[in-house]
Structure 1
Amino acid sequence: MICDASTTNPAAPRPAAMPIAQHEQSTLLITGLSGYVGQGLARHPALARFGRVVGTYFQHPVSLPGHATCRLDLTDAQAVDALWEAVQPTVVIHTAANFAQPASLTASIVAGTQHVVAAAAKHGARLVHLSSDVIFDGEHPPYAEDASPDPITPYAQAKAQAETLVRTSGLADWVMVRTSLVTGLAPVDPRTQWVWDSVRARRPITLFTDEYRCPVWVEDLAAALLELTQLDFRGVLNVAGPQRLSRYAFGVKLCAFAGLDPAAITAAVVANSGLVRPRDCTLDIRLAQRVLRTRLRSVDEGLLSAHNR
């Protein structure tokens, strides 16, 4: 475990005070700070309302102005416990997964979550655990919070195991956030960049017309996760966008926004691809819309807002 303190930029604007006073006394730990969601959390102005913030990474060092970052191998139980002893977090947002090393992906999700849960239980921290809509088989949408996981891919199986670890841990204070495709434009998320780069370079790109998701803007997801660190809510919560889109329709919208010709994208169906993928992971987000003050925007709303900037 290697921790580095970052320096605060005194010229940086401070966000308006949030109405939840507990932030000032809270120590927040974020796992997976170098990931796309982790970086979304790092950029969010609400982060400044916490008394102390520590972010962890594994392979890609990142900074967190005004706070500390630590290199941490979540599969190492002793390292995780040592970090908790040193930081004493009151709340944890657990987003980490090692996508850079496919052979280690399952261990980073399952063992990593097991160690995070054990440490959170030992120290009495609230856990906000990030899960995924792909834990479902995609044949019985829309999925509400009480839907049972039925994973059909190795990644989904690992995420479902992680959910079970959280549920059965005996941890007193937890919330499990199931989300969908995380998208953003500043910076551009990796999937969108792949679509744009492929179309610009005229590389073959195929997207499915019958694979449905509910893309969520990274700013909205980050805001929701930070809000949930302080809300008196426990259990599962679906946090995704309100707009159900096929991967093909989503790709077409992204190309139109960037002024690219979507005709370069080949439309296909999952059944003819030979791939094992859940077809429709639409999440029912009505509970989140009631519980959260964070507004979950559609893809169209986010693109329109970006276009008008």
Structure 2
Amino acid sequence: MAKIMISGATGLLGRALLKELSKEHDTVGLGFSRAQPPILKVDLFDKKALQQVFSENTPEFFIHSAAERNPDKFDNDPESSIKLNCAVTEQIARCCEQFGCKLIFISTDYVFDGRNPPYAEDAATSPLNLYGESKARSEAMLLKDYPSAAIARIPVLYGEVNALKESAVTIIAEQLIKGVRAFDHDSLRFPTNTADIARVLRQAIEVIGKELNGVYHISAQEMMTKLEMAKTMAPALNIDSATLVAAEIDENAAPRPKDCALKDTRLCATGIEIDSRFSDAINTVLAPHLSH
């Protein structure tokens, strides 16, 4: 049993990590605006508070999943978003080094521009937007100054949500319910269940342990556009998928890469991989939010 601390424990991925890892390990969840016991309320911008929570809990692993993930929010408030994604990450890395804790940093496929997929773990980063740039900057800092840290790049996520708008995937269902029938059919995505990410990280901790370091890619393998995701969800919402069409590209949105397929050359070699089907998993996720 390992002592594992998770930042962003009230978020989409953080909740899944807490649920999965708590089965076999001693977990400590950190949150802020939505934190309720037993999740500890900690301001990650407060260096003293961060030091104190490390000192009092002495984790063996720290999974840093707290982040600003919405590319469009970066354009609206780049300073605070970059501070959260970069300065906080460096402070957590310092604490991990000080307390002998293994850092697992959650990154993104958006560190790539989508022009040369699939991307192996050692591919050069080339982000198109500020969100991807903030993650690429933190990755570079960790690889240079904290080489014992592990970096887990992941794609767009879905999973158990408190409200459909909580993830970029399940919000498509909310839009369908509200009557939207046109969706992006240009950018290719690899929607991945947070439960699968949590399971893979649990297995990585248990199989590889403190030897985890460098970059790892964790992703489902089904390639879909938002339109294709919408068509997959439509039957559960009693909507005719034939009525759904491709939308015009939104020129005002932050630029998104076309195809950031992540090639897993490291975890897959250990037998740790994702093989679940989107159509099955998304129906399970949507079910609690549908009125019958």
Task: Please give the TM-score of this superposition, normalised by the length of structure 1.
Answer: 0.79
Mapped partners of 2:111, 2:244: distance in 1: 27
Alignment equivalent of 1:69, drawn from 30, 39, 44:
39
Instruction: Give the alignment partner of residue 58 of structure 1, picking from 13, 32, 55.
Output: 32
Name the residue aligned to 1:95: 65
Q: Which residue of 1 aligns with 2:234?
A: 255
Counterpart of 1:179 (choices 151, 154, 158) is 154
CA gap of 1:186–1:108, structure 2 versus 1, over 3 A, is closer
Instruction: Decide which of 132, 135, 141 is 1:159's aligned counterpart.
Output: 135
Aligned counterpart, 1:82: 52
- The residue aligned with 1:145 is 121
Judging changes above 3 Å, is the alpha-carbon distance between structure 1 residues 306 and 98 closer, same or farther for their aligned structure 2 residues?
closer
CA contact (8 A) 1:74 1:111 kept: no
The percent identity for this pair of structures is 21
| Aligned twin of 1:289 | 268
Letter in 2 for 1:157: E
State the match for 1:191 in structure 2.
168
Shift of 1:269: 5.8
Query: Following TM superposition, by how much is the alpha carbon of 1:37 offset from its aligned partner in structure 2, in angstroms?
Result: 0.2
Aligned to 1:6: none
- The equivalences for 1:2-17 within 5 A come to none
CA distance in 1, matches of 2:229, 2:118: 18
Q: Partner of 2:8 in structure 1?
A: 32
The residue that corresponds to 1:134 in the other structure is 110
CA distance in 2, matches of 1:159, 1:132: 7
Match of 1:43 in 2: 19
Tell me how far 1:190 sits from its aligned partner.
2.6
Give the TM-score normalised by the residue count of structure 2: 0.84
- In structure 2, C-alpha distance between the alignment counterparts of 1:83 and 1:171, rounded to whole Å: 23
Aligned AA (1:278)? P
> Which residue of the other structure, out of 277, 284, 287, is the alignment partner of 1:298?
277
SS of equivalent residue, structure 1 residue 54: strand
Per-residue deviation, 1:151: 0.9
> Higher strand share goes to which structure?
1
Cα distance change, pair 108–307 in 1 and its aligned pair in 2 (3 A): closer
Residue 73 of structure 1 deviates from its aligned partner by 1.8
Counterpart amino acid of residue 50 in structure 2: V
Distance across 1 between alignment mates of 2:248 and 2:144: 38
Q: Which position in structure 1 is the counterpart of 2:200? A: 224
Deviation at residue 233 of structure 1 after TM alignment: 3.3
What code does the residue aligned with 2:227 have? Y
Shift in CA distance, 238/79, structure 1 to aligned 2, threshold 3 Å: same
**Pair 307,34 (structure 1): closer, same or farther in 2 beyond 3 Å:** closer
> CA contact under 8 A between 1:117 and 1:165: conserved in structure 2?
no
Shift of 1:185: 5.1
Structure 1: gaps of 5 or more residues: 1-22
How many residue pairs end up in the alignment?
A: 275
Is this contact kept in 1: 2:121–2:265, CA < 8 A? no
Tell me which residue corresponds to 2:290.
Answer: none
SS of residue in 2 equivalent to 1:236: strand
Q: How far does residue 214 in structure 1 lie from its aligned partner after superposition?
A: 1.2
Question: How far has the Cα of 1:248 moved from its partner?
Answer: 1.8
| Residue equivalent to 2:224 | 245
Counterpart among 80, 84, 87 of residue 111 in structure 1: 87
User: Equivalents in 1 of 2:284, 2:171: separation in Å?
Assistant: 22
> 1:230-288: per-residue Cα shift (whole Å, max 9, x none)?
32432211101011112221222122343323455441364x74542211111113533
Contact 2:9 2:31 in 1 (8 A): yes
Q: 1:264 to 1:57 in 2, by over 3 A?
A: farther
Which residue identity is paired with 2:154? T
- Alignment root-mean-square deviation, CA: 2.7
